[in-house]
């Protein structure tokens, strides 16, 4: 069984971060080894100020213990970081614990809707850019893509993302998946560049009503699981996009409050085997 070290926060209530990543990777046949940098009482999307516990020292101790045991990981998948020190710790994990041919996936959690998250600083954005140089695949939304490119966070919101994906690829050295692209009304999508094939494409899925927190984590978790299963980038992006669409439609149909996140748990069996039937417009 392939092992992935998942370096994220843990929100104890609300469907995001490690609360979705662990079950998704598990059902896809991947051993998820969580490495939380911060524990929050809830996610930050609608529950008011969350109680936080910083686990930076715990991360350092865990990395030393894992290294002392000679552990290595077939994949390293990173998300939200609470400080530049935690971002540097993620770089250390990549450098010390990645197995040969490991897949490094970085979700550069920095902002959305044209602005940095309130907990992010310009120094953290620069450090995240450094972490991205170690990645084989990065999954920014349009706001994060602009930040990584040194542009105004709202500069790319009206773009379709193809040129952005290519510009972020380090001259074709890494794959890029730009999420939150709106190819046409009623649909959402992701623009991707696959560094292994040189191909660029857009994956389209039906957009369900509601702007649910945690869908970025869910998307990147499914994408990572697909890559670890040996799928190509196009197939893994399609699997992730259509799973999010199904989960959001299911959640909206039940009238679940948006702040609860998407009800993915009953739909996890869709990720087994060949999984979802993909839209033919990929």
Task: Give the model confidence (pLDDT) of 51-71 as tens digits.
Answer: 999 999 999 999 999 999 999
For position 208, what pLDDT does the model report?
84
CA distances 25 to 147, 184, 221, Å, are 28, 31, 7
For position 137, what pLDDT does the model report?
98
Q: Residue 278's pLDDT band (boundaries 50, 70, 90)?
A: very low
For position 187, what pLDDT does the model report?
87
What ranges do the domains of the chain cover? 3-271
* Cβ–Cβ < 8 Å for 138, 176: yes
Q: Residue 189's pLDDT band (boundaries 50, 70, 90)?
A: confident
- Least confident piece of the model among 43-52, 125-134, 153-162, 184-193: 153-162
Q: Angle between the 215-228 and 233-254 helix axes, to the nearest 10 degrees?
A: 140
For position 252, what pLDDT does the model report?
95
Q: Residue 113's pLDDT band (boundaries 50, 70, 90)?
A: confident
- Least confident piece of the model among 116-120, 139-143, 247-251: 116-120
Tell me what percent of the residues of the chain surpass a pLDDT of 70: 93
pLDDT at 230 over 70: yes
For position 279, what pLDDT does the model report?
45
- Least confident piece of the model among 159-163, 180-184, 219-223, 256-260: 159-163
For position 282, what pLDDT does the model report?
30
Task: Give the model confidence (pLDDT) of 72-109 as tens digits.
Answer: 999 999 999 999 999 999 999 999 999 999 999 999 99
Q: Which residues, including other chains, have CB under 8 Å from residue 109's CB and lie 6 or more apart? A: 79, 80, 81, 117, 128, 144, 216
Query: What homologous superfamily is domain 3-271 in, according to CATH?
Result: Ribokinase (3.40.1190.20)
């Amino acid at each position: 069984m392939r092992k992935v070290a998942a370096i994220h926060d843990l929100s104890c209530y609300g469907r995001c971060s490690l609360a979705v990543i662990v079950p998704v990777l598990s059902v896809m046949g991947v051993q998820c080894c969580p490495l939380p940098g911060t524990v929050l009482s809830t996610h930050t999307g609608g529950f008011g100020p969350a109680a936080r516990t910083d686990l930076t020292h715990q991360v350092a101790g865990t990395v030393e213990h894992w290294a002392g045991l000679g552990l290595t990981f077939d994949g390293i998948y990173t998300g939200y970081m609470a400080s530049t020190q935690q971002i540097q710790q993620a770089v250390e994990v990549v450098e010390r614990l990645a197995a040969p041919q490991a897949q490094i996936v970085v979700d550069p959690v920095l902002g959305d809707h044209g602005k940095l998250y309130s907990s992010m600083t310009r120094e953290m954005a620069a450090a995240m850019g450094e972490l991205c140089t170690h990645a084989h695949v990065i999954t920014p939304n349009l706001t994060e893509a602009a930040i990584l490119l040194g542009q105004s966070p709202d500069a790319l919101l009206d773009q379709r993302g193809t040129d952005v994906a290519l510009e972020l690829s380090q001259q074709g050295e890494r794959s890029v998946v730009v999420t939150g692209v709106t190819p046409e009304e009623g649909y959402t999508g992701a623009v991707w560049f696959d560094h292994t094939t040189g191909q660029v494409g857009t994956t389209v899925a039906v957009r369900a009503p509601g702007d649910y927190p945690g869908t970025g984590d869910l998307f990147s978790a499914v994408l990572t699981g697909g890559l670890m299963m040996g799928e190509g980038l196009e197939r893994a992006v399609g699997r992730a996009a259509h799973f999010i669409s199904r989960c959001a439609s299911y959640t909206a149909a039940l009238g679940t409050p948006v702040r609860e996140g998407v009800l993915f748990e009953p739909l996890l069996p869709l990720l087994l085997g060949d999984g979802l039937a993909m839209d033919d417009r990929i």
